[in-house]
Amino acid sequence: MESRHYGIIYINATTVRAPDGRTYMLKELVLKNRSYRGFDESRKVTEGELKELVDMARITASGANLQPLKYHLITGGEELKKMNELTKWGKMLTQMTLPHPGQFPTAYILVLADTNICKEPKNADTDLGIAAQTILLAAVEKGLGGCMIANFDKAAASAIFPHDSTLCPILAIAVGKPIEDIRLVDVGEDGCTKYYRDENDVHYVPKRKLNDVLV
């Protein structure tokens, strides 16, 4: 069912249909939306696909509706190579370097704070979280996935594209076709939230139990 209002199409639906014909509920998308650190490099991501992801993010909530976030799309070439070098992955897994060779993401969305709109980039943090999660959920809906990367060389990242200094890189969102097995587990008695991998490279992410987050 569809209704039109000021040129925007609102679709009244609780479920969405993925390109493979499956119907996803929000919980399934949230569950599938893990931080992936291994990708099928043969699956390129197009600029059109990234634009669709940003098109979702740009209509989400924004403090005072300032909308200070800008997006630089990277789908290949030197910029992709550079971003793969500048990003730091899975720092809790000290015994390995991720992504494994041949498993790098094939695209990035570099999120920038426009300091003409929002003087202090930190003030865009809540908007950033909303936008980044929306982008990744939309990626999962397309059969893709990714990882938010805050740990990257931001000065070097701003030098890879010809923008003015008022745009400040604040988050890199890696995008690609995930090939990892990631499982959620309850946080144990020791309270440790560190993610870990087994000998088969299965990635485990401890999550606090519902009763432990209700206060």
Indicate whether 35 belongs to the interface with ligand FMN (CB under 6 A): yes
One-letter amino acid for residue 6 of the chain = Y
Q: Which residue is at the shortest CB distance from ligand FMN? A: 151
**Contacting ligand FMN within 171-190 (CB under 6 A):** 182
Indicate whether 204 belongs to the interface with ligand FMN (CB under 6 A): no
Shortest spacing between CB 92 and ligand FMN, in angstroms: 7
Number of residues forming the site for ligand FMN (CB under 6 A):
14
Indicate whether 150 belongs to the interface with ligand FMN (CB under 6 A): yes
Burial, 97: exposed, middle or buried (Cβ in 10 Å; 0-12, 13-18, 19+)?
A: exposed
> How far is 143 from 210, CA to CA, in rounded Å?
28
Among 46, 116, 126, 151, binds ligand FMN (CB under 6 A): 151
Print the binding letters for residues 89-118 with ligand FMN: x by CB under 6 A, - otherwise: xx----------------------------
CB under 6 A: which stretch of 31-39, 40-48, 50-58, 76-84 binds ligand FMN?
A: 31-39
Shortest spacing between CB 205 and ligand FMN, in angstroms: 4
Burial, 184: exposed, middle or buried (Cβ in 10 Å; 0-12, 13-18, 19+)?
A: exposed
- Closer to ligand FMN by Cβ: residue 34 or 177: 34
CB under 6 A: which stretch of 16-24, 45-53, 114-122, 148-156 binds ligand FMN?
A: 148-156
**Contacting ligand FMN within 39-68 (CB under 6 A):** none
- Closer to ligand FMN by Cβ: residue 88 or 208: 88
Judged by the rule CB under 6 A, the positions of this chain that interact with ligand FMN are 34-35, 37, 88-90, 147-151, 182, 195, 205
